[in-house]
Amino acid sequence: MSAYVEIPRPHESARGRFTAELTFPVQSKRRAQQHHDVAWALADAHGLEMSTPYKVNPRWSVYEEKWGNGERHGWSDMRRLRVDGPARALARYLVALERVLDEVEALATRAVRVFGAWKRSIAAEPFLEYEDASTMRVRAREFRADVLHALAQRLGARRRPAGERDSSRPLWEQAGAVAEEVWAEAGGVDLERVDESAVNAHLVRMVPAVVVEAERLARAEAARVEAERLEAERVELFGQVHAAVLREADEVDAVRAEQDGQEGLFPVSAARPPLVVPPARPVKPRCAPRRRVPVAERVPAGATHVVISREQVGAFNEGLAGALWPAVSADRVRYAPAA
């Protein structure tokens, strides 16, 4: 299993056609995109259909796009690739993909070794006068990324072969020429060679549409059985609580009837209505508790009386203004509450 691509179990998306959604898990986003380009070129060579899934931006909103940080709605997810095709063709592609990615990475590593040998040679001294160890590490990392990009383009035949090296330029500016050198030394990368036993193993892993539907129905049936079990437990708990409440009520009624001398008239429990279990209520999300303002913060220290204005009383008692503030005669206005 390759460390550069994750291959899930292919499933049947149409009659006779299967789909696999590949994931490129390397940490570097640029390197993952280069692996994506290699897988795309290989799928084209095997005659398959490929597409890059769309990834929605979770931070997007109309406000963020127009008046905020300019967040886009989404983009093509270069860490994933969807490949569709016939069963055997797709299985051959998946087997070849792991080998091709490993070989391309090995060619990029060989190119980095060429860069290290050039760095220690006499021809590199004029270009290393203003370079130190940290800058050369950055140069080597960028050189490897450029070589891997050139190899991915070479694999898809979208790039014309570069010329030979130019001794008047530093080697980190000639990634294409070094990529052609290591490609020629290794004899290229075979896009068609596969192990038939591995192809048969992938064919066994492929899931027909009938199996996918059966798994979906099995999950739905398991969810239904679990819901029925939870409902039965809820009804049983309601019954136990109801029986306990009836026993307690019967004991209280028996004591009261004995005191009144009416204990033999009729059984009290027979007159009670039967148990009705209410339907299950949906679980509401819990909100954050509101902060209760202490009285000490609402009332000044040492205050014994708090004056509430007429507007505040009216705001808390809308529609009761007439009952709260009855008409007062003119000779008793001075006894009305202060506004």
pLDDT value at 134 more than 60 = yes
How does the average pLDDT of the chain come out, rounded? 80
Q: How confident is the model at residue 82 (pLDDT cuts 50, 70, 90)?
A: very high
Contact 145, 202 (CB under 8 A): no
pLDDT of residue 81: 92
Q: From CA 301, how far away is CA 326, in angstroms rounded? A: 34
Question: Which residue type sits at 147?
Answer: V
Provide, rounded to the nearest whole percent, the portion of the chain with pLDDT above 70.
Answer: 73
pLDDT 10s digits, 207-236: 776 676 777 888 899 989 998 898 888 888
DSSP 274: P
pLDDT 10s digits, 281-320: 766 666 766 676 665 666 666 666 666 666 666 666 665 5
Domain ranges for the chain: 11-207, 211-268
Terminal Cα-to-Cα distance of the chain (whole angstroms): 83
pLDDT of residue 69: 81
Q: From CA 311, how far away is CA 339, in angstroms rounded? A: 8
Q: Is the dihedral of CA 125, 131, 132, 134 positive or negative?
A: negative
pLDDT of residue 84: 92
The whole-number average pLDDT for the span 31-36 is 90
The whole-number average pLDDT for the span 93-119 is 90
Specify the higher pLDDT residue, 232 or 156: 232
- Cα radius of gyration (the chain): 39
Q: From CA 237, how far away is CA 232, in angstroms rounded? A: 9
Q: How confident is the model at residue 83 (pLDDT cuts 50, 70, 90)?
A: very high
Specify the higher pLDDT residue, 148 or 256: 148
DSSP 171-207: GGG-HHHHHHHHHHHHT---SS---HHHHHHHHHH-B
Q: How confident is the model at residue 339 (pLDDT cuts 50, 70, 90)?
A: very low
